[in-house]
Chain A
Amino acid sequence: MNNLELKKIANEVRKGIIASVHSAKAGHPGGSLSAADLFTYLYFEELNIDPQNPKMEDRDRFVLSKGHTAPGLYSAMAHRGFFPVEDLITLRKLGSYLQGHPCMLHVPGVDMSSGSLGQGVSAAVGMALAAKMDQKDYRVYTLLGDGEIQEGQVWEAAMFAGHHKLDNLVVIVDNNGLQIDGAVEDVCSPYPIDKKFEAFNFHVINIDGHNFDEIRAAFKEAKETKGMPTAIISHSIKGKGVSFMEGNADWHGKAPNDEQYEVAMADLVKIGEALDKEEA
């Protein structure tokens, strides 16, 4: 898939995020939007998966360690064909399989339940370890928040992954700079993130998380890296694509009201039109 195609899908994924969170009147748009390009690349380009056969034996695994950004995951998975896009608006409603945080028992294609920050990465390490034990060549990917990496468990997982040279593991940190209480560097700084992963014996790649050339190159480099796990530090903008949400911690875990929904959708429609023009 070329970059333009990916950009167009990412824009649809973003619309799905806004529509579902608006419908739920709750949820986490900020970190879903910052990771929308990553979700798109993973589900449309990188992961060896089959929406028709979500439990395919040797599929690549993806663990959303920052489980609160389920709207981004669900939207990418729906657009990829795991379940109907129309179901996105049932997010967080009583009886919906699209729970506030992903549950592997309910959603086809979700490999691990998450929501409590810091835990998904350990499960991903376990999956990568199992692949090594079984001499399988599937790969394991996990996405973390930059606030999430304040959890000590993340570094326990990193130490184990480095120690066991899990080169089938890719840890991605969505470095959007914000958590709930403000900027990560003001709350309790996790910086320098890249140096930390290096110290834990990871191969580290810094990228612009909204640039598909850089995303593509990073995943290729990760695949070529042998003898150590890879960490991709994705520098991103929280709320990316929706003007009033960009770079604003207030939009971490809040739904747009009807009026804000219209503005957000108009922003995304405009982006879509510009992409159409680019194509013509």
Chain B
Amino acid sequence: MAEKKMVATREGYGEALLELGAENPNVVVLDADLAAATKTAVFKKAYPERFFDCGIAEANMIGIAAGLAASGKVPFASSFAMFAAGRAYEQVRNSVGYPHLNVKIGATHAGITVGEDGASHQCNEDIALMRTIPGMVVMCPADTIEAREATKAAAAYDGPVYLRFGRAVCPVINDKPDYHFEIGKGTILREGTDLTIVATGICVGSSLEAAEKLAEEGISAEVINICTIKPLDEELIIQSAKKTGKVITAEEHSVIGGLGSAVCDALCKSYPVPVLKIGVQDVFGESGSAAALVEKFKLDGKGIYEQIKDYLK
């Protein structure tokens, strides 16, 4: 495989904010003392009059975003996933979700690839929290290109959106001329007949690697990239399950309530097949480099390959 470019998804978020700022004077960006890390600093520099640092007060930031949205603005509120989805959960649920306000939550540093900061900052629960809120769109891009496009699509969509980004670099996989993003649409990145891997976020790149390794042993894996976890592209997943009869989900998130659960929800009502959920297995994270953690939690290509091999035994 040719060497892939490595870029963190939060970079694409910053780039999109900059573009959106130029296009729409109603776009306002909020942060909670993490502007450099979340990449909203890029917007702050270009549009200082439309950037507000709320200080370390995430719950209040979400409430302010709700008020701005109720007044016609298009607010993007950013912090780490732990604090945007975690600390401010109830504000997101009641001040944004319930009134279905046009607030976009740009949550960075999701999952274990936060790295050295450790478990207190590694949010493996945000997809679960956000997808239970009625009307909330939940997206988790696989690379910086998808991050940029998902952010722009979120701005064009009228309603609450949760965008999940990572801190660590990951391979760019969508640098193709025919790449096109649509909310709610999954994409088959590799066709196969023996099993289906449904992946999101950084696990898309790792799943492609795993599929390559499986192919060397004559196992044909289909790889589906699901950026929009809600609303889920159920049709695409069920079609693939009908073809392969075996589904594996892969995500940098708890196996409880995340992509794996969403896929099971979809399959069990119309085409139940066995599903292996790869992800964080109901444990907290820990300190270490992002690379060391991805290896330990078996979310790299090798780890996903090994878990699938074990499962097929």
A interface residues, Cβ below 8 angstroms from B: 24-27, 67-68, 92-96, 99-101, 103, 113-118, 147-148, 150-152, 179-181, 184, 187-188, 190
Contact = CB atoms under 8 A, between A and B. Distances in A.
A101 B293 CA distance: 16
B233 interface: no
28 contacts: A27-B116, A92-B118, A92-B288, A94-B286, A94-B293, A96-B287, A99-B118, A99-B287, A100-B121, A101-B117, A101-B121, A103-B118, A103-B120, A115-B117, A116-B82, A118-B56, A148-B56, A150-B33, A179-B56, A180-B33, A180-B37, A181-B33, A181-B34, A187-B33, A187-B53, A187-B55, A188-B54, A188-B55
Contacts of B55: 147, 150, 179, 184, 187-188, 190
A67 B57 CA distance: 16
A92 B287 contact: yes
Interface string B68-95: 0000000000000011001100000000
Nearest to A91: B287
Given A113-B120, A147-B56, A179-B56, A100 B287 contact: yes
A100 B36 contact: no
B289 interface: yes
Nearest to A101: B120
Contacts of B35: 180-181
B56 A114 contact: no
B236 interface: no
B41 to A, nearest CB: 8
Contact of B121 (A115, A150, A179, A190): A115
Q: Is the interface of A mostly helix, strand, loop or mixed?
A: loop
B115 A26 contact: yes
A121 to B, nearest CB: 13
Contacts of A190: 55
Given A26-B115, A27-B116, A93-B288, A181 B82 contact: no
Given A100-B116, A180-B36, A152 B60 contact: yes
Contacts of A27: 116
Interface string B91-135: 000000000000000000000000111111100000000000000
B15 interface: no
A49 to B, nearest CB: 23
A127 B286 CA distance: 26
Contacts of A68: 117
A116 B59 contact: no
A188 B55 CA distance: 5
A177 B182 CA distance: 45
Interface in B134-185: none
A92 B290 CA distance: 11
Contacts of B37: 180
A273 B199 CA distance: 58
A118 B54 CA distance: 15
A5 B31 CA distance: 43
Nearest to B80: A116
Contacts of B117: 26, 68, 100-101, 115
B115 to A, nearest CB: 7
B57 A151 contact: yes
Given A26-B115, A181-B35, A67 B120 contact: yes
A100 B87 CA distance: 19
B292 interface: yes
B243 interface: no
Interface in B245-303: 286-289, 292-293, 296
Nearest to A188: B55
A93 B287 contact: yes
A115 B118 contact: yes
Nearest to A117: B56
Interface string B54-66: 1111011000000
B57 A152 contact: yes
A94 B120 contact: no
A94 B57 contact: no
A181 B118 contact: no
Given A67-B120, A114-B120, A115-B117, A150 B56 contact: yes
B53 A99 contact: no
A152 B59 contact: yes
A26 B293 CA distance: 15
Contact of B57 (A95, A101, A188): A188
> What are the 4 closest A-B residue pairs judged by CB atoms, nearest first?
A115-B120, A188-B55, A94-B288, A150-B55
Contacts of B121: 100-101, 115-116
A99 B285 CA distance: 11
A94 B56 contact: no
A188 B54 CA distance: 6
- Name, among A115, A188, A190, the residue most crowded by chain B CB atoms within 10 Å (CB to CB): A188
Contacts of A99: 118-119, 286-287
A187 B37 CA distance: 15
